[in-house]
Structures are given as C-alpha cells and as structure tokens.
Structure 1
Amino acid sequence: CGTSTSSRKDLGINYKALDDLFKISQERKDYVKYEVQVQMVEIYNEQVRDLLAEDPSTTKYPF
C-alpha cells in the first residue's frame, strides 16, 4: 500500500482492484451478497510461491 500522502494514481494495480471490488460490494450490499477470497502468488524462474502463507518458500504448487 502507499503512504497516507499517496494519491490513487500512485498505488499498485492490486490495491486499486481490491479497493474497487470492496466499494462495489458496499454499494450493492442491499441486494447482493459477496464472498471474497484472495490469493497472491509470485511466479519467478518457473517457481510459484504463495505470498500469503506464513512461510511462502515451503508452499508447493500445483495444489
């Protein structure tokens, strides 16, 4: 995430996408129920790491 002085244009695509997703879900909460699940992985040199795992280096893919 950015700092408190950052503008939206300075934030990354992940932050912007999640921010939009939660804003839309709030706007539609009276007639749509959402369940949001997030997974963040890194692919580097044909190795996949789960960035949300306690120890991403031990996570093996595919599941």
Structure 2
Amino acid sequence: MPLFTGVVPPVVTPLNADFTVDFASFTRTIEHLLDGGVHGLFVLGSTSEVVFHDEAGRRAI
C-alpha cells in the first residue's frame, strides 16, 4: 500500500503587497481545500517559494 493516497494539492502562499504572508487569505484557502475533501496539503514546495521565507516564516506557514 502506498504511503500517501488521495488528493494532496500544492498550496500557493498568498502574499500582501509588501510581500508578507497574507495569513487571512492563506487560512481561507486551506479551509476551502479541507472542506472540499482533500487528504493532505503540499505547502512551500511546488512553486519554489520556500526560498523566499526564513525559518520562522516557514514554521508560521
């Protein structure tokens, strides 16, 4: 049996005009995906955005 199954979409992190994370929009996006029945979330990986956030920012995301 595979370790991961189901739908695990990549999640783009929304940013404000000053390039800080828009956590309100991020939360709404994640809630929408979870309400839609996804089985997991793939954050900070699919668009190489991980390099634009420091360690504290990655943990917050």
- TM-score, with structure 1 as normaliser: 0.32
**Which structure is larger by alpha-carbon Rg, 1 or 2?**
1
**Could you say which structure has the greater relative contact order, defined with CA pairs below 8 angstroms and 6 or more residues apart?**
2
More helix by share: 2
- TM-score, with structure 2 as normaliser: 0.32
More strand by share: 1
